[in-house]
Structure 1
Amino acid sequence: MQKVWRPDVPGTCINLVQFYYGLQIPNIITDVWIVISPIRELMRMELTRKIKTGATAMFLLGSVTVAFDIVRLVVLLDLGHKGPDVTYHLTDAAIWTTIEPTVAIVAICIPSVRNLTRSRGPQRANGRHGYGSSSIQLSSDFSK
């Protein structure tokens, strides 16, 4: 462990390139699986073409995460080739390690934004919605 932080210490350390392959390739495979598996099941369902297209597009937002996974793998592999002092060159890899899950979270949350922008239904002139319990009139006179 000391060799990782102090390259001048005699001895050997793990092969970082192989370590990064072992770290990131399973991550890419699972992300691709997470994107593709719901689409396969969605195509089996009896839905209109419009609904299937919209749902497929929503699931394909996850492919943006796969693209960032690949960029992160390239940066990590480049880090393994920069020299013995990995901690000196760690900044780019650390940035992409932070960006990748952030993009995944944003991609997952984008469909819920639709609910925020959707109209809440017809409104009347008094500001009340044209549906629901607005037809119930409460009397202010409790003696009745």
Structure 2
Amino acid sequence: MAASTEDGKASDDKGPLILAVLWSLTGLTTVLVIARMYIRNSLLHNLGADDWLITTSLIMGLVYCGITTANVAIGYGKHAWLLSDSTVEQASFLNSLSFLFGIISFPMPKLAVTAILCAVVSGVCIVVLFTMCDPPKALWKTHPVVKGKATCRDVWILINYAIFTGALSAFVDLVLAAYPSTVLMKLHMLLQKRLALCAALGLGSIASAMAIIKCTQLKGLADKSDYTYGTADLVIWTNIESNVVIIASCIPTLQPVLELILGRRTTSSSNNNSRNRYKGSNQPDSSYDNSNLSKPRKPDWGTTTVESQESILRDEEDGRTGSHPLGVIRRTDNVIVEYENRVGEGEQQW
């Protein structure tokens, strides 16, 4: 291609920025998903389908990062006029392929909370993307279109539908973030705890903002003259949206890990607590003070208190007192004897 600088400088390169954002954010997301799986499997023993959906979404995101990294290595992120025609076609192909995994990655966590409509609409977006041209390879190859061997629909059909998909995704994220708060604020618990839970579950609102920002970058798909540079921001924000959705779904489950770090929980405490929850009815409450049942008044001068205790539970067959499985319950009788000195005749009272 001609070495024109009308659309920018030759030194412009968004490749390093793409890799920095993608891998730093995806790395954080990977750590949080691993922590979530550890908590749900090892501490809570409650691994479910939602956890596997989120893990699958992470895998799709990792594939997206891998393909994009390979794309940057061949020149994606630079101006198209700095690259050969074959490199631009290859970069366009890898970018289209990465969008396949990118689009799959951000609706999957929503499936974990039954946002099925959003997932279906995103799936249709994939179909629209890969049916834009006939044959489909004309989506990234320009020569068939130039020679009249392929036809493509107006790219704004894809852009407008992608904007609709992003808007719906933002709306779903916002609803999923706001709805739990309306339920939590009605619960009978400390206000501080309710606010903390609302903040944790409300992180989806950030994902909603990311989806809106991504929609503003979709116009880059129409820049066919500088495709490798014009769509770079879209690649970045697609990854950001996907990771933020996953992070928002993981953070509410991380409290046990925080307790482990602070030393407030051990790896076996969750199991012990869940087991003891069903044993509490068979064990006496040592914190109960039975002295409150019968409190004799404070003896006055010249008052003697005599106590007698007797087990009121049936002794076991071996005759041992206190061997009953429910523990020992005793009856206590308090006998108060009061006396005073009588002043006799001729005696002086002091």
Aligned CA distance change for structure 1 residues 41 and 113 (closer, same or farther; 3 Å): closer
Find 2:181's aligned residue among 35, 39, 51.
39
What is residue 55 of structure 1 aligned with on the other side? 197
List gaps (5 residues or longer) in structure 1. Answer: 123-128, 133-144
SS of aligned partner of 2:185: helix
- Work out the CA distance in 2 between the residues paired with 1:29 and 1:42: 21
What is residue 70 of structure 1 aligned with on the other side? 212
SS of aligned partner of 1:44: coil
- Work out the CA distance in 1 between the residues paired with 2:255 and 2:201: 14
What is residue 109 of structure 1 aligned with on the other side? 250
What is residue 126 of structure 1 aligned with on the other side? none
What is residue 138 of structure 1 aligned with on the other side? none
Give the deviation of 1:42 after TM superposition.
1.6
Measured against aligned partners, the alpha-carbon deviations of 1:43-62 in whole angstroms (never above 9, x if no partner) come to 23232212211111111222
Residue type matched to 2:161 in 1?
A: F
Give me the identity figure in percent: 20
Give the deviation of 1:26 after TM superposition.
0.8
- Work out the CA distance in 2 between the residues paired with 1:97 and 1:108: 17
What is residue 170 of structure 2 aligned with on the other side? 28
- Work out the CA distance in 1 between the residues paired with 2:163 and 2:264: 51
Find 2:239's aligned residue among 80, 86, 98.
98
Measured against aligned partners, the alpha-carbon deviations of 1:57-114 in whole angstroms (never above 9, x if no partner) come to 11122222112112211111x314x534584333321221122111221232233333
Answer yes or no: is the 8 Å Cα contact 2:181–2:198 preserved in 1. Answer: yes
- Work out the CA distance in 1 between the residues paired with 2:227 and 2:241: 20
Residue type matched to 2:154 in 1?
A: C
Aligned CA distance change for structure 1 residues 30 and 86 (closer, same or farther; 3 Å): farther
Mapping of 1:75-90 within 5 angstroms?
Answer: 75-76=217-218, 78-80=219-221, 82-85=222-225, 87-88=227-228, 89-90=230-231
Higher Rg of the two aligned structures: 2
TM-score scaled by structure 2? 0.31
Aligned residues between the structures? 123
- Work out the CA distance in 2 between the residues paired with 1:11 and 1:54: 51
- Work out the CA distance in 2 between the residues paired with 1:92 and 1:37: 31
- Work out the CA distance in 1 between the residues paired with 2:165 and 2:225: 20
RMSD, aligned α-carbons: 3.0
SS of aligned partner of 2:209: helix
Aligned CA distance change for structure 1 residues 23 and 86 (closer, same or farther; 3 Å): farther
Answer yes or no: is the 8 Å Cα contact 1:4–1:86 preserved in 2. Answer: no
Residue type matched to 1:25 in 2?
A: A
TM-score scaled by structure 1? 0.67
Answer yes or no: is the 8 Å Cα contact 1:79–1:90 preserved in 2. Answer: yes
Does 1 or 2 have the higher relative contact order (CA < 8 Å, sep 6+)?
1
Measured against aligned partners, the alpha-carbon deviations of 1:16-59 in whole angstroms (never above 9, x if no partner) come to 43122222111111111111111112223232212211111111
Aligned CA distance change for structure 1 residues 47 and 39 (closer, same or farther; 3 Å): same
Give the deviation of 1:11 after TM superposition.
5.8
Residue type matched to 1:108 in 2?
A: S
Answer yes or no: is the 8 Å Cα contact 2:220–2:227 preserved in 1. Answer: no
SS of aligned partner of 1:45: coil
Aligned CA distance change for structure 1 residues 4 and 50 (closer, same or farther; 3 Å): same
**Structure with the higher helix share, 1 or 2:** 1
